[in-house]
A and B are shown apart, each in its own frame.
Chain A
């Protein structure tokens, strides 16, 4: 039997008829971190994270895919992918074997805003990890044979992605809402752009954008922050480079004239990938924090309006969600669901209806409070791992946010009113100027979707 001590029988009587009262709330504070500038121009953010004996190191350079030249789509991600494929002192395989032998990993890559070098390994290998990140960041050699190999691998990857319905849907949506801007392309580039990228373009991109001045190193693990800083200072020496960092081009998509419907035809497909979206706002926009409340209520949690509608009320889908993607430029607002093909039209109408409704009537008091307390309550849950904390510090670095950003965010969520949510919905949701993308059998989709707006049908390979 359970308890060792005698329990008075009265305390066993419980009331099952309603949720139990909570106990006493326990405080949570965002973990403290140190910020230091090194003479080479690199900023270091270091934090202790107790628990397992692992450390994460991430070097972030403002070298993201938004900087791809018009004729060089995929250049940022290809350059970043090649950073660990050979350095002044070691070959690609020597680098990989060195880190993996210690039980760690090394990953390099780029997203829209950032080129990154990340490693995770056991705490006792901190020095080796720090030297590895510095080696890969400052002495990549871009050997011709590795470039040829990476290019072939990338071309194959682009080919493979033509057969993922979810990827086709995301890429078609980006083309529809970002026409004429950098966000219209895939960060991986196209078969044509990648085939044309040579060593000169890669080395030039690296020299321009992968410079330590303006970059940030995040170091998190179960070690004193001062020790993490000292190791960083030892690994990243030297004076700052004289060249100034070029400015990123502004991305200003034109609003759509109405609702545009794009069908990507996959005859005989078992299901339809549905997207509905339009351009949103930069993560640095003053409304961005508050938009997380609007979005969480609308499509950002299981009990959101869109998921309850499409999944629990209608059974159209296994799950539906929405998000405002946070980027330096105006990232997309997207609603996404994989739906039964015969339900694509009704599902799209339900989503449009939810977007219109939330612009017309204030949200109910109860769902407002539920959403608010969910966001506030779940925050410690999102900070359970070394990688979780590193990711938060990355956001501070990439978007130039103040050190107390997350406390400001929580305060913003706590103070937001239903009237402000209505205003946000009116300002930032635009169901009448949106793109709808459906990847599935065109013969079944066309009759369901053609009344919604101007319709085009394309093949996956076009």
Chain B
């Protein structure tokens, strides 16, 4: 059988003397290389009053470093036909470029410069501008979006105030506005060190030569200090003990109901079961919620359900938007009945097979872009120290039994551990 890099996912893994882990995945199908760098720091490492800092800091990493002038990160990348970006999440921050394969060194130069030589380039002027950019990003994504505040409220109710999943990744406006240059410097020194990072290269390169270049660019960057401990009981917050509820008024015409539960951490056997259960509930037109709420009873305009892949404890969220004139309470009782059923009886064999086939197709689809593949290698290495975990993902879905969907449903869908947020049209 011939090797197919996109599905067989071959790789080698290395560690430099400063602790940087390096994953190399060769796929010469296209003349491209993806450079993907994960730092194991996210909003989880923030504290109340200083929320949104990890994300604001991500913006600062595009403002230049000692040898790369302000704005020239994107300029250098785009000059050669590359694409670059970064993103911040609860548990991690990533930076990535996809470049023409012969420009691999450019990506290594840019990423190593900001890992090793950031601070001389940080200025108050750049920080002031990026605070405004991020405050506008928050307005665009949250405050000026219909239903935009709901998921923030959901997290606030699902996790206690000192739990780091309590606040939104983008942070609160006052906290963003309060960020100082000293915060930027301290955060960099604490978290942006090679021993807290994973670098993945995916694409058309010779692994031995590429590793030599990685060593040349990153090897001299010193390791950082030990990382500060995370908040206590992060994987095991005290139970809610009673349903938590909020009703938000918004400039909308259609009511919407969100229900959230604490579900297993990513990587747990039951995380995969929960993922398939969300597909049974709301994945496609043949799913339970779509068929019942949207198609047959026509009380909902749309439904969705998902479990986020979080390291400590994942939120499982079920959402339904009402048809015009349908009350939130009507949707709520319909959702409750479905969740109670999922906690009491396993899906049928047909539901189970369909959900698994859809999930596996999505898994293959997600492997197509080199940058996605690189990002997944970095993810498995950052969270589990196991780049081979990526190739094992399909098997983790395949070996599930239908009873495990019942097991996770029964453990998760408990009314006294539920958060309900209803968004209703503002009285005008």
B324 interface neighbour in A53, A156, A269, Cβ under 8 Å: A156
Task: For chain B, residues 348 to 378, give those with C-beta under 8 angstroms from any C-beta of chain A.
Answer: 350, 353-354, 356-361, 364-365, 367-370
Task: For chain A, residues 99 to 137, give those with C-beta under 8 angstroms from any C-beta of chain B.
Answer: 100-105, 120-122
A266 interface neighbour in B109, B135, B251, Cβ under 8 Å: B251
Of all chain A residues, the one with the shortest Cβ separation from B126 is A312
Do the beta carbons of A163 and B83 come within 8 Å of each other? no
Please measure, in the bound complex, the distance between the C-alpha atom of A52 and the C-alpha atom of B79, giving whole angstroms.
30
Do the beta carbons of B143 and A270 come within 8 Å of each other? yes
A9 → B minimal CB distance (Å): 10
Do the beta carbons of A12 and B215 come within 8 Å of each other? yes
A370 interface neighbour in B30, B78, B146, B354, Cβ under 8 Å: B78
A5 interface neighbour in B139, B208, B295, Cβ under 8 Å: B208
Do the beta carbons of B323 and A156 come within 8 Å of each other? yes
B269 contacts chain A at the CB level, 8 A cutoff = no
A377 → B minimal CB distance (Å): 1
Interface residue stretch chosen among A228-236, A280-288, A382-390: A382-390
Residues of A within 8 A of B106 (CB): 19-20, 22
Residues of A within 8 A of B333 (CB): none
Task: Provide the main secondary structure of the chain B interface.
Answer: helix
Do the beta carbons of A163 and B129 come within 8 Å of each other? no
A413 → B minimal CB distance (Å): 11
Report the contact-size class of chain B (Cβ under 8 Å from the partner).
Answer: 35 or more
Task: For chain A, residues 27 to 53, give those with C-beta under 8 angstroms from any C-beta of chain B.
Answer: 27-28, 50-53
B365 interface neighbour in A25, A120, A314, A315, Cβ under 8 Å: A120
Do the beta carbons of A26 and B101 come within 8 Å of each other? yes
Do the beta carbons of B100 and A2 come within 8 Å of each other? no
Residues of A within 8 A of B204 (CB): 26
Do the beta carbons of A381 and B101 come within 8 Å of each other? no
Do the beta carbons of B81 and A377 come within 8 Å of each other? yes
Do the beta carbons of B78 and A101 come within 8 Å of each other? no
Q: What sequence of 0s and 1s flags, for each residue 1-18 of chain A, a beta carbon within 8 Å of any chain B beta carbon? A: 111110100011110111
Do the beta carbons of B67 and A26 come within 8 Å of each other? no
Do the beta carbons of A379 and B253 come within 8 Å of each other? no
Residues of B within 8 A of A317 (CB): 133, 136, 140
Do the beta carbons of A2 and B215 come within 8 Å of each other? yes
Contact A338 B139, CB 8 Å, known A2-B16, A2-B22, A103-B358:
yes
Contact A315 B136, CB 8 Å, known A163-B253, A271-B144, A377-B81:
yes
Interface residue stretch chosen among B41-49, B68-76, B312-320, B408-416: B68-76
Contact A51 B81, CB 8 Å, known A22-B106, A96-B286, A302-B74:
no
Do the beta carbons of B79 and A96 come within 8 Å of each other? no
B219 contacts chain A at the CB level, 8 A cutoff = yes
Contact A163 B146, CB 8 Å, known A19-B106, A20-B106:
yes
B124 contacts chain A at the CB level, 8 A cutoff = no
Do the beta carbons of A303 and B75 come within 8 Å of each other? yes
Residues of B within 8 A of A3 (CB): 14, 208, 211-212, 215
Residues of A within 8 A of B135 (CB): 340
Please measure, in the bound complex, the distance between the C-alpha atom of A383 and the C-alpha atom of B106, giving whole angstroms.
22
B37 contacts chain A at the CB level, 8 A cutoff = no
Do the beta carbons of B298 and A149 come within 8 Å of each other? yes
The number of inter-chain residue pairs (CB within 8 angstroms) is: 253
Residues of B within 8 A of A301 (CB): 78
Do the beta carbons of B251 and A11 come within 8 Å of each other? no
Contact A156 B254, CB 8 Å, known A2-B15, A373-B81, A385-B368:
yes
Please measure, in the bound complex, the distance between the C-alpha atom of A314 and the C-alpha atom of B370, giving whole angstroms.
34
B136 interface neighbour in A162, A163, A318, Cβ under 8 Å: A318
B137 contacts chain A at the CB level, 8 A cutoff = yes
Q: What sequence of 0s and 1s flags, for each residue 225-264 of chain B, a beta carbon within 8 Å of any chain A beta carbon? A: 0000000000000000000000000011110000000000
Do the beta carbons of B6 and A93 come within 8 Å of each other? no
Please measure, in the bound complex, the distance between the C-alpha atom of A153 and the C-alpha atom of B106, giving whole angstroms.
50
Do the beta carbons of A381 and B143 come within 8 Å of each other? no
B286 interface neighbour in A19, A100, A313, Cβ under 8 Å: A100
Please measure, in the bound complex, the distance between the C-alpha atom of A176 and the C-alpha atom of B294, giving whole angstroms.
35
Task: For chain B, residues 295 to 320, give those with C-beta under 8 angstroms from any C-beta of chain A.
Answer: 295, 298, 301
Q: What sequence of 0s and 1s flags, for each residue 131-174 of chain A, a beta carbon within 8 Å of any chain B beta carbon? A: 00000000000000000010011011101101111000000000
Give the most central of A14, A121, A162, A314: most B CB within 10 Å.
Answer: A14
Residues of B within 8 A of A2 (CB): 14-17, 22, 211-212, 214-215, 219
Please measure, in the bound complex, the distance between the C-alpha atom of A185 and the C-alpha atom of B100, giving whole angstroms.
42
A376 → B minimal CB distance (Å): 6
Do the beta carbons of A270 and B82 come within 8 Å of each other? no
Please measure, in the bound complex, the distance between the C-alpha atom of A104 and the C-alpha atom of B364, giving whole angstroms.
12
Do the beta carbons of B82 and A378 come within 8 Å of each other? yes
Residues of A within 8 A of B128 (CB): 315
Please measure, in the bound complex, the distance between the C-alpha atom of A385 and the C-alpha atom of B135, giving whole angstroms.
34
Please measure, in the bound complex, the distance between the C-alpha atom of A381 and the C-alpha atom of B29, giving whole angstroms.
12
Do the beta carbons of A52 and B364 come within 8 Å of each other? yes
A206 contacts chain B at the CB level, 8 A cutoff = no
Contact A384 B369, CB 8 Å, known A3-B211, A51-B6:
yes
Do the beta carbons of B81 and A318 come within 8 Å of each other? no
Do the beta carbons of A338 and B140 come within 8 Å of each other? yes
B32 contacts chain A at the CB level, 8 A cutoff = yes
Residues of A within 8 A of B58 (CB): none
Residues of B within 8 A of A105 (CB): 284, 358
Contact A16 B102, CB 8 Å, known A97-B286, A153-B301, A384-B368:
no
B368 interface neighbour in A23, A377, A386, Cβ under 8 Å: A386
Do the beta carbons of A318 and B137 come within 8 Å of each other? yes
A311 contacts chain B at the CB level, 8 A cutoff = yes
Of all chain A residues, the one with the shortest Cβ separation from B101 is A26
A24 contacts chain B at the CB level, 8 A cutoff = yes
B150 → A minimal CB distance (Å): 14
Do the beta carbons of A377 and B6 come within 8 Å of each other? no
Residues of A within 8 A of B284 (CB): 96, 100, 105
Q: What sequence of 0s and 1s flags, for each residue 82-106 of chain A, a beta carbon within 8 Å of any chain B beta carbon? A: 0000000000110011001111110
Complex A-B: 8 CB contacts under 8 Å:
A1-B17, A26-B31, A52-B368, A54-B361, A103-B360, A104-B358, A315-B132, A377-B80
B interface list, Cβ under 8 A from A:
4, 6-7, 14-17, 22, 29-32, 66-67, 71, 74-76, 78-83, 98, 100-106, 108-109, 112-113, 117, 128-137, 139-141, 143-146, 204, 208, 211-212, 214-217, 219, 251-254, 283-287, 291, 294-295, 298, 301, 321, 323-324, 350, 353-354, 356-361, 364-365, 367-370
Given A26-B102, A53-B7, A383-B30: 16 more A-B contacts, CB < 8 Å: A2-B212, A3-B208, A7-B212, A22-B105, A23-B102, A54-B361, A100-B354, A149-B295, A156-B324, A302-B74, A303-B71, A314-B129, A315-B133, A377-B81, A377-B100, A380-B30
